[in-house]
Amino acid sequence: MKTISILLLLVLSIQGYSQTNKEPIDYVDCFIGTSNSRWMLGPYAGRPFGMVQLGPDNQNDGWMAGYEYSISNVSGFSHIHAWTMCGLIMMPQVQDPTFKDRPIDAAYRGAGASYHSRILKESEKAFPGYYAVELYDSDAKAELTATTHCGFHKYTFNDDYENALILIDLLFPAEYSAKLTDGEITIKDRQTITGYSTLTSSYNEWTLHFEIRFNKAFNSMNGWTQRQGEREDVHKVKGHGDVASYITFNVKKEEPLMAKVGLSLVSAEGASKNLEQELEVYDWDFNRAVNDARDEWNELLGRIKVEGGTHEDKVKFYTNLYRCYSQKQTWSDVDGKYVDPFEQVQQLPEGGVMYGGDAFWNTFWNLNPLWSFISPEIMKNWVDTQLELFDKTGWTNNGPTGLEHTGVMEVTHEVVLMISAWQKGIWKGDEKKLYKAVRNVVTNQGEILPGTGLAGNDYLNVFVEKGYVPYNLGRKSRTDRALNYAFDFYCVAQMAKALGKSDDYDDFMKKSEYWRNIFHPSIKYIVPKDTSGNWLDKFDPLSGYSFTEGNSWQYTWYIPHNVTGLIEAMGGEEVFNKRLENGFLKSNKKQFAAHAFDRSRKKAIECYINHGNEANMQPAYLFNYSGKPHLTQKYTRAILDNFYGSTPYHGWEGDEDEGQMGGWYVISAMGLFEMTGGVEAKPMVDLTSPLFDRVTIHLDNTYYPGKTFVIEAKNNSKENLYIQGIKLNGKKVKKPVISFEEIVKGGKLEFEMGPKPGKW
């Protein structure tokens, strides 16, 4: 009995040790939300803000594409999963290859299993910076890791093969259906392949240069082009429409076949230089590269330490935190070269980087504050990226996909990030230049630039002239533009005020109130108007007609810079609270869908709270402004617990969109939020019920004076979700708000929690 007791104690102590000594990265589940998800969201191997997101594809061309968890095969491993952008897929094979009559279809390209391979689903493994799976038809284990600009492949075959293949393909299924206008694959030497692909999609044209180095010599290369068909034992494959090749190897059982892949949007030399600098340091030590990726992610994720809560809470927290850094890209090379929107090669100063990704559509409610708290260098780099684009094109960029202008989401909210970074003291460059750049956005009509897309705000001139944007000017003359423009004017006004530019401040603040021109005085909703100033007839607040991925019910709350004015316009706190809470009561997680509107007809399809999309992620915090902060606490907790999930099938009931929903989860789980994006001279942070008993934010001393900021929730539980009182560094806090400055000075924020609404 004594021996059994000792063994039991030993087992329990080991279990306890393993639980308490988990690192942040150990809580990340890369498969959460990867079913029915976007192209950018998969179990891809990458680094923070990496150009490369290397991982499995198994879906057909079109919306979403990329990886689907429920499909038990892989068609290949592609390197770039950026918004509207893709590039270079590779796949090991031992099957007879088939090029002939290849449809551009992921799962069934070619005959039988010649292009794709079934997988052993239980063998799939992923953590930040690593992916692995057993390929049944290819009879090999595939392992992947990455650096910022490079992919690192390791394939271990389960038998000897005289002609194992590595397929290299320049055209494959992607979310935005890319077209190959020019491509080339060339043998440089018997261990090296070089080439490029020029691709176009909805918003962009780009040339991806690559260099692939293998750890052993290959036998031959066969190729395929759309015009010439298949050719054997070639030195070069070149064409358009469809270009691919396969490289043959003699492999031994359990002998790793490895490939290092350097990528660049600039040049072949850039791809080679990226490979040399980022991968040659590892020689062919694949595990060392994996461990470096793991360490880099662990350091970033470890800037926030959470204690208390359930294991599932921690999994959701760190997975969402990981997503905030895994889906946007660095488009400049290691030497600082990049290609601008006019297809000109530019050179950054030493240490400079150029970021890109999808739009800054309301990132001020999720990603911006998170980046401010734990990675201010990201904020700084974003501002530098924007000012570099302003230098070269005359405009900042609302969503620099491959650094091109896109005009996507009809608004330029990059100005919110830029002003916030300046007001918070993160960015300390030439403030005159910064002001000139953000002022340009609200004073000049947007324009289509040659060789790229829309820069600036379309219909801004109409907004300034009429005080709103009529719904009947064109397909994209949507009513919500006026709300977005009004907010941007408010943001730029705050910088004007700080710089003593009183005329600009007065003018911009006046325009920030133009939302009132489309607020119907009797219906009390934001209602579309036509060019003559007539209200839309047969108005339905649940219709998405003339609204961007939302409806009037949702957009009526979208006055972040003047919630008090909205409360008054709506008829006071009682009316405001009743309508808002009624919306929460009528909503549930299954109602949220990002694109569930028939905009061509005035038909109600979707309704009420839509946390699954960016235009409606602030309603829970509005109660802080209307005398009922306990409802903010109630509904933020409800969203954290119920809307967000922890399985492949339930991660986010909506469009995660490059970390935006993840960012909301992380800051709200800490009990924090920024309604206006931190653009005022003294940025303020809203407070709600923290999910964890204790949160420690490790502050960056390059930017902030404090060492740590601790958020402690006493008597916290799933039932005790209501704040009874708050203290900041021992002093009582009377309202659910503190300044950003107080956070970055370091200290402790204490919440006393209870089961009923507090009376503080």
Say if residues 84 and 205 touch (Cβ distance below 8 Å). no
Say if residues 668 and 660 touch (Cβ distance below 8 Å). no
Q: Residue 187: name the closest of 153, 212, 154 by CA.
A: 212
Q: What is the pLDDT of residues 596-624, one digit of tens each?
A: 444 444 455 568 999 988 999 999 999 99
Proportion of the chain above pLDDT 90, given as a percent: 86
pLDDT at residue 98, as a whole number:
64
How many Å apart are CA 672 and CA 690, to the nearest integer?
Answer: 8
| Alpha carbon distances (Å) from 737 to 262, 426, 757 | 47, 21, 17
Q: What is the pLDDT of residues 492-509, one digit of tens each?
A: 999 999 999 999 999 999
Q: What is the pLDDT of residues 45-60, one digit of tens each?
A: 999 999 999 999 999 8
Say if residues 240 and 183 touch (Cβ distance below 8 Å). yes
Q: Within 10 A of 95 (CB to CB), how many other CB atoms are there?
A: 17
Q: So where are the chain's domains? A: 24-299
| Token couple for 108 | 């069934």
Q: Residue 323: name the closest of 758, 658, 706 by CA.
A: 658
pLDDT at residue 410 greater than cutoff 90: no
How many Å apart are CA 335 and CA 338, to the nearest integer?
Answer: 9
Q: What is the pLDDT of residues 734-745, one digit of tens each?
A: 999 999 999 999
Type of residue at 565: G
Type of residue at 332: S
pLDDT at residue 595, as a whole number:
37
Long-range Cβ contact pairs of 584-587 (< 8 A, separation 24 or more)? 584/608, 584/609, 584/619, 584/620, 584/635, 584/638
pLDDT at residue 99 greater than cutoff 70: no
| Token couple for 380 | 């700084």
How many Å apart are CA 627 and CA 274, to the nearest integer?
Answer: 55
Q: What is the pLDDT of residues 648-695, one digit of tens each?
A: 999 998 889 999 999 999 999 999 999 999 999 999 999 999 999 999
Map residue 396 onto helix, strand or coil.
Answer: coil
pLDDT at residue 174 greater than cutoff 90: yes
- CA 644 from chain centre, in angstroms, equals 16
pLDDT at residue 20, as a whole number:
62
pLDDT at residue 62, as a whole number:
87
pLDDT at residue 8, as a whole number:
43
Map residue 294 onto helix, strand or coil.
Answer: helix
| Token couple for 156 | 């271990």
Helix, strand, coil percentages in the chain from 3-state DSSP, rounded to 5: 30, 25, 45
Q: What is the 3-state secondary structure (H, E, C) of 688-729?
A: CCCCCCEEEEECCCCCCCCCEEEEEEECCCCCCCEEEEEEEC
Sequence-distant (6+) residues with CB within 8 A of 604 are 540, 542, 543, 551
| Pairing of β 684-687 and β 737-739 | antiparallel
How many Å apart are CA 178 and CA 478, to the nearest integer?
Answer: 28
Map residue 625 onto helix, strand or coil.
Answer: helix
Q: What is the pLDDT of residues 294-328, one digit of tens each?
A: 999 999 999 999 999 999 999 999 999 999 999 99
Q: Using 50, 70 and 90 to split pLDDT, how confident is the model at 628?
A: very high
Give the mean model confidence (pLDDT) for residues 426-437: 98
How many Å apart are CA 322 and CA 186, to the nearest integer?
Answer: 37
pLDDT at residue 354 greater than cutoff 90: yes
Say if residues 160 and 151 touch (Cβ distance below 8 Å). no
- Conformational region of residue 267, where left means phi above 0, alpha means psi within -120 to 50, and beta covers everything else: beta
Q: Residue 508: name the closest of 548, 463, 459, 469 by CA.
A: 463
Query: Among 225-239, 479-493, 722-736, where is mean pLDDT lowest?
Result: 225-239
pLDDT at residue 11, as a whole number:
40
Give the mean model confidence (pLDDT) for residues 2-31: 63
How many Å apart are CA 81 and CA 65, to the nearest integer?
Answer: 10
Please state which CATH number belongs to domain 24-299. 2.70.98.10
pLDDT at residue 116, as a whole number:
83
Q: Using 50, 70 and 90 to split pLDDT, how confident is the model at 202?
A: confident
Type of residue at 616: N
Q: Using 50, 70 and 90 to split pLDDT, how confident is the model at 101?
A: very low
Give the mean model confidence (pLDDT) for residues 77-96: 94
pLDDT at residue 96, as a whole number:
76
